[in-house]
Amino acid sequence: MNCAGWWAMFRGQTKSLCRRTGFTLIELLVALALLSILSALTYRAVSGVLDAEKQVKETSRRWQDLAIFFDQLERDALQTIAKPIRDGQGAPQPEWSLRTAESAGDEALVEWTRLGDTGVRNSDSRRVGYRLKAGKLEYLQWPVLDRAPSTVATVIPIAEKIREMRWRCLTQDGRWLEFWPMAGMNDKLPRAVEVIVILDDGSSVTRLIPVGAT
């Protein structure tokens, strides 16, 4: 066989090998389509995991905030003392005050006088309260019992995404009242307080806490 014949045979074998080992345009397009589908599925899976993790963390933090609230509320209620105060206009205010949401406005829904952390009755008694403002549960502390016109409470955010709070007080004779005090009643302090916290997702938590008159 001459040189021309060998060259023709070599070229034919090379082209045949390229056809056997290479990819066609259709095969490349199919591979790219499959890669895109797998990438999309992977992204959705990872995104779902991250969203679920975020939701779990948010839910856990919300319940932790509520646990802090109920713990603080119980400590405040058990340290309650029968000590009235005067507001910024000099008007006398009861030892324990529970307002309706409509009448409270930006004021505390509920407030009362309690002992300080040292337990000394007259030296560090304080006025505390709770309010719901724009979906946020806030804890209020006044620096003095008898307030001046310029006296402002310290506001401590506790929890958020709260739809509603319902309070009621138990009288000494076993009646439940949604405001306190009621005209003509002799009770200075309730026996217990019940609070229902309704979250923005519709779930609710109820606590009944005794009030300790010291």
Residue 16 located in a structural domain: no
Range of the domain at 133: 60-160
pLDDT(10) > 50:
no
Q: Where are any strands of DSSP class E within 12-62?
A: none
- Beta strands 154-159 and 136-142, pairing class: antiparallel
Number of domains in the chain: 1
Q: Answer whether residue 181 is part of any domain.
A: no
Nearest residue to 167 (alpha-carbon basis) of 144, 197, 190, 147: 197
Over residues 31-39, the mean pLDDT reads 82
Percent of the chain with pLDDT over 70: 85
Residue 115 located in a structural domain: yes
CATH number where 116 lies: 3.10.610.10
Q: Is residue 194 part of a domain?
A: no
Task: DSSP for 150-177, please give it.
Answer: T---EEEEEE--EEEEEEEEE-TTS-EE
In a domain, 116, yes or no: yes
Report how far residue 41's alpha carbon sits from residue 78's, in angstroms, rounded to the nearest whole number.
55
Number of helices (H) and strands (E), helices first, in the chain?
3, 11
Whether residue 8 lies inside any domain: the answer is no
Residue 165 lies inside a defined structural domain of this protein: no
User: What confidence category does residue 7 fall into, taking pLDDT thresholds of 50, 70 and 90?
Assistant: very low
The pLDDT, as a whole number, for residue 31 is 79
Put simply, whether the predicted model's pTM sits higher than 0.75 gets the answer no
Question: Tokens 């304080």 belong to which residue?
Answer: 126
Residue 214 lies in a domain: no
